[in-house]
Structure 1
């Protein structure tokens, strides 16, 4: 079994940075940058448009094509509204579990990768290893495309990507795509004693909300075995806000919806279908009030990871883990973006997804050891 003491020391530091997605991650990235600098590792840090978030990439080994990318995100979900029994920003060991926000998703993987860097440097690597640590994965993989652009700008083209999200070290070869959409309806306010003088934004939102449910029912009715659970595309409305008073026809209604689609369906097709439905509702509203509107915004898309049997990343990781099961998942990762950029990509990392985003999130010592063993085998295979 691998010695994970160095990784635990690093994990303690990483958990101590409160990098919830609505906060800056710059202090954490600075820590990682200093760590890599001390080891003499070439790396680059790049900011987002606000300057409050940063990504980091690194290259270890010969300056040749064919690298294996180890990918992870530095942000975590907020702890607001959750009842924690442990301090979320302090690594706490209890009964073989290491508690703290991000221990599982996915600072545990980042700590293991950083701890393995000296081993990477000590080996005569024939194929290089690239590190790719992003920002703003949790709000919708917003930092992934800038990360991929930075890799293309600074380093030779890699071949394979291992996204280290928690899979209990199983090889995940496919996941659903995700679409988040904010819908804003603007009607015309009026007193409720004569509602015909107004245009209710809430009333006109109802058929759009119902559209999501009807589409999911249709998808379920024609579902075929897909390897996903559930096997079909799911749609739901997660938030709804509208109106100012019970005696006023509401002139504004805003809701957010979520679509988790099964490949080979595409995000473009789903967005186009919803736009068409929204246009019908807008036309009905404008027939009564020309300035009424239905606007779609904040459209966040996490592309699906479509299974590509036998790709280089899958063959490599299956060989190292011994896992030959067919594992598909319903959650999204950055893997779809990497696949879209032409990389052979799989998802494989320590920890259980059931712990992600939960109060008292944890990763077990055994999972960390398994992750460290995997990275050690990976490094040896690239000699």
Structure 2
């Protein structure tokens, strides 16, 4: 393994900004990163497909395939990063900086570093034809909408049966994580002078009832669904923010609540709307008030790979660690939906992601190369 090659590639990837954000003013494309990966992989013999994301200029997925057959391996990750405030960094977030055995830079661990290491790991397999395809799959917008992964179809992973999502887990295999839905509730009442409640219809009073109903729903979900593999073994419902009214002496005419639900494996996100609506409808009817429910983002299903699946057994053997669970969401459910046995496992730590001075430890590189090479040998040769 040539560490200099990894550092050179990661330097190039980090210096290409590819922030994705729900705020249009912060959002940018990832196409330059996709093109750079393509420029490295095509001369190595990979067949390159750059797939634009519909309605998103300068955003695309990359599907790079080496070999053919069936039973192959996908090495997958996202090319976007979260936004950053460079005034909080001790070095330029877009210039890879090595110090104290660490590689600092935005995306170094979440998760541009995975691509640099994966490309280095696959090089010994270029001299002999593979018996099953090796696919490098790079997506857009994981940090915001996950539109890149959502747009994948079966043809994009043709011939593959296994997938590694290289999110930073310290190279510990993870076989499950919770799903997430984010909802907004808007209650529109009627404002009026606070001296006479009959002059209006208080949206905040109605929201109080709604929140009480949602708290009861939270308890019901916790009793019905439990997964001992998670530190918090039940679904959670969190009230994130609330806005309403404009003055103490004025009846509140509108109130809005944003909340999320983290679902456990086995739950159907699609059923939640009905359960929430069952809370809202009685309040709306009793108070003769308008209550609207909407999604703040497309939901993400929970993910769980069976503990006895081939890929879990293999990575547990290769890493010497039992497969666990993580609290953060990944693109893994989308690869499962495409029929792939899927594991979440990559270099670096999630503790360093999404904050100033993000870094990958240098001592993560060689172990990751070793594990990926063993997986390529098992599934592609």
Same fold (TM over 0.5): yes
Distance in 2, matches of 1:214 and 1:81, equals 43
TM-score, normalised to structure 2, is 0.88
Partner of 1:206: 208
Q: CA deviation at 1:160?
A: 0.8
Question: Residue 42 of structure 1: CA displacement?
Answer: 0.8
Separation (CA, whole Å) in 1 of partners of 2:192 and 2:114:
55
Alignment of 1:142-221 (within 5 A): 142-147=147-152, 149=153, 152-154=154-156, 156-217=158-219
- For the aligned residues, what is the CA RMSD? 2.5
Unaligned stretches of 5+ residues in structure 2: 22-27
Q: Spell out the pairing of 1:1-383 with structure 2 (5 A cutoff).
A: 2-22=1-21, 23-52=28-57, 53-61=59-67, 63-80=68-85, 83-147=88-152, 149=153, 152-154=154-156, 156-217=158-219, 226-285=228-287, 287=288, 289=289, 292-323=290-321, 325-381=322-378, 382-383=380-381
* Greater Cα offset, 14-23 or 161-170: 14-23
TM-score, normalised relative to structure 1: 0.88
The CA deviation at 1:161 is 1.0
Give SS of 2:335's match.
helix
Distance 2:319 2:219 in 1: 38
> Distance between the aligned counterparts of 1:236 and 1:333, measured in 2?
20
**Partner deviation per Cα, 1:182-217 (whole Å, 9 max, x = no partner):** 222222233434443223333322333344444445
Give the Cα–Cα distance (whole angstroms) in 2 for the partners of residues 196 and 84 of structure 1.
55
Q: Distance in 1 between matches of 2:304 and 2:156?
A: 27
Could you tell me how far 1:49 is from its partner in structure 2? Answer: 2.2
Secondary structure of the structure 2 residue equivalent to 1:143: helix
Q: Deviations over 1:296-328 (max 9, x none)?
A: 2334211111241222322332343233x1412
- Tell me the SS of whatever aligns to 1:249: coil
Q: How many equivalent pairs are there?
A: 373
Which SS does the other structure have where 1:168 is aligned?
A: coil
Instruction: Summarize the Cα distance change of 1:256–1:127 in structure 2 as closer, same or farther, 3 Å threshold.
Output: same
Cα distance change of structure 1 residues 212 and 295 upon mapping to structure 2, 3 Å threshold: closer
Which has the larger displacement, 338-347 or 219-228? 219-228
Report the alpha carbon displacement of residue 253 of structure 1 after superposing the two structures with TM: 2.7
1:65/1:159 contact within 8 Å kept: yes
